[in-house]
Structure 1
Amino acid sequence: MGKYAFYPGCAAKGASKELYEATVAVARELGIDMVELPQFSCCGAGVLEEVKDVLDIAVNARNLAYAEKEGRDIVTVCSTCLLVLRSAKYHLDNDDDLKEKVNEILAEVGLEYKGTVDVKHFHWVLLEEFGEEGLRERVKSPLEGLKVYPFYGCHTIRPKDIIGYEPSENPQSLEKIVRALGATPVSGVRRLECCGFHAFWPAPQISMKLTGLNLKDAKDSGADCVVTPCPLCHMNLDANQGRALRAIGENFQIPVLHVPQLVGLALGIEPKELGLHRNFVSFSLV
Structure 2
Amino acid sequence: MSALTDLLSPEAIVLDAAADDWQEAIGVAGALLVRTGVTTDVYTREMVDSVLEKGPYIVIAPGFAFAHARPSPAVLRTGMSWVRLAEPVAFGSPGNDPVDLVVALAASDAKAHTTAMAELAKVIGDASRRAALAAATSAAEVLGVLDGGAAPAAPETARTSSSGAARGTTKNKILTVCGNGVGTSLFLKNTLEKVLGEWRWSPFIEVEATDTISAKGKAKEADLILTSGEIAKALGDLGVPMTVIENFTSTAEIDAALRANYDI
Give the structure with the higher percent strand: 2
| TM-score by shorter chain over 0.5 | no
Q: Which has the larger radius of gyration?
A: 1
Q: TM-score, normalised by structure 2?
A: 0.34
